[in-house]
Amino acid sequence: MKCVVGIDLGSTTTKAVLLDLDGHILGRGITNSRSNYEVACAVAREEALTATRFTTLERELAKTGGASTAEIEAAFRLELYLDQLAGLQAQIERALGMLTYVGQRATLGPAAAAVLEAMRAEAPSLFALGGERKSDFFRDVAGASFMAAAEREAELRRVPFEKLSGLFDRAIIDVETTAQTRKFGDLLRRAALRVAGSGDAAFLGSVDRVAATPIEELSFVGTGYGRQTLPFPKEAVRSEILCHGRGAHRVFPGTRTVLDIGGQDTKAIQVDDHGVVTSFQMNDRCAAGCGRYLGYIADELGLGLHELGPLALGAKRVVKVNSTCTVFAGAELRERLSLGERREDILAGLHRSIMLRAMSLLARSGGISDQFSFTGGVCKNAMATKVLRQLVDENYGEEITLNAHPDSIYMGALGAALFALDDVRAGRPAMLPTFATAATLGGAA
């Protein structure tokens, strides 16, 4: 199977998209960008390769029957999570061996072991079909599970909760900055055995054939906030503006205006009927009004970033917010809360303030033309999308089509993959990066 790869290395998340040589999407991958961009890039690519193999498996199972792709993918995610938990346990044990914990090992060690055992016991319910997970990122899923179990163990064993949570915080950084080598075929077979047992030879044969199918990556193009740190030749790097414009136009061919709100910057982009950028405006280097600002607010409230939008949708009124500066975000939030304002109402005001800044950029770039597409990580925030729709209606009329979909977070990576496909079709030399591996970064094989 031959394909091309586009990678969008953002400040918060890193995305990858694989296209076949006809331009069809084979798979997509996403991970949090971590403190090591090289590892994030490798993980996103692996996620996209995994999704591609599941696309192939779905076609294979359609011919032979047996378990559904959804069942085996859920089991695969469980097996992967259990492997990642083993990595977390190793890092926690390593941390306990440090001098910092020399006087606390006797109490913290058994408590941490009990927490990890509780996490393993809970894992099948998290990854069952229809299981409730608020995030697909290991840090988020494991963090929520660890903290819940740590609260119970801290009370039961009279161990300081802060010490247990500190162990997790120290270990998760090492987990996220270490490249891990896992064989897809081994994980997939374990998942297949979990779903169907060893008696379904036809099903296991389909699984083994898919795992053995080679995937040949012919060309790569990278983009995103951290694109200059990608292990790519400089000729294989494109600007975010070009990639988001092209990706949005590919999915929504009527697109003429694109708003991309990422973790660190906001871009208002105008494109022609071929998806070529004709003009654009960007915010300055300040992250005000971007995803990073929302991250600070989430931290202040002790929430996950993914929880802000749903909470804000419960607002009964919109509290006016004077500043979207990340430096003063916490101070203004605490002041509003001390005055008795509801969290939901404050968050509604914060979202409106952010989108007003975006509308100003759009106006400077040339306004909004039908159709209008919303991309970037903030497009996954339901409240941001709702407020944007209201502001577009107020300023440009209800006839404007707003293309907003949670999967629009992949537009930059899709645009990058389309540029990679151009290179292949033009016969340009292959531009292949050097990804981080367990060997190069010292990770476990």
Q: List pLDDT tens digits, range 161-200.
A: 999 999 999 999 888 877 777 788 899 999 988 888 777 7
Tokens of 313: 């949708």
Overall average pLDDT of the 274-281 stretch: 94
In this prediction, residue 323 carries a pLDDT of: 63
For 351-378, what is each residue's pLDDT tens digit?
Answer: 888 888 899 999 999 999 889 999 988 8
Overall average pLDDT of the 75-90 stretch: 94
Query: In this structure, what is the dihedral angle of CA atoms 325, 326, 331, 335, given to the nearest 10 degrees?
Result: 60
224 with 17: CB under 8 angstroms? Answer: no
Residues 107, 111: Cα–Cα separation, whole Å: 7
Q: How far is CA 238 from CA 69, 257, 287, 298, 424, in A?
A: 35, 19, 22, 31, 16
Tokens of 168: 């997790």
Overall average pLDDT of the 335-362 stretch: 89
Going through 41-107 in order, the beta strands assigned E by DSSP cover none
Residue 322 has pLDDT above 80, yes or no: no
Prediction pTM value: 0.84
Mean pLDDT lowest among 248-262, 336-350, 359-373: 336-350
Work out the pLDDT band at 445, boundaries 50, 70, 90. Answer: very low
